[in-house]
Amino acid sequence: MSKKNNEKIKEAALPVFFLRIFVFSLFLLVVIDLLSMLSGQFIIHRYLVNFGSLTCHQIREKCISLNGMYSFVCSRCIGVYVGSFIGIFLFQRLDLFNSLNTIFISFTVLLIAFLLSQWGINDHMILRLISGIIGGIGIYFTLEIIIQNIFKKFLFISSN
Task: Return the CA Rg of the chain.
Answer: 18
Closest CA to 20 of 86, 72, 100, 102: 86
160 within a domain of the structure (yes/no): no
Cα-based angle 49, 87, 126 (whole degrees, multiple of 5): 55
Q: What pLDDT score does 114 carry?
A: 83
Give just the sign of the alpha carbon dihedral 100, 56, 53, 61. Answer: negative
> Is 0.75 topped by the overall pTM?
yes
Q: What pLDDT score does 96 carry?
A: 76
Q: What pLDDT score does 1 carry?
A: 45
52 within a domain of the structure (yes/no): yes
Spans of the chain below 50 pLDDT = 1
Q: What pLDDT score does 4 carry?
A: 54
71 within a domain of the structure (yes/no): yes
Q: What pLDDT score does 6 carry?
A: 52
Cβ–Cβ under 8 Å, residues 93 and 102? no
124 within a domain of the structure (yes/no): yes
Question: Helical H runs in the chain?
Answer: 3-39, 42-52, 75-91, 96-118, 125-154
Domains: count for the chain:
1
13 within a domain of the structure (yes/no): yes
9 within a domain of the structure (yes/no): yes
Looking at residue 69, what DSSP letter applies? E
Give just the sign of the alpha carbon dihedral 125, 131, 52, 120. Answer: negative
Domain residues for the domain of 56 are 3-154
102 within a domain of the structure (yes/no): yes
159 within a domain of the structure (yes/no): no
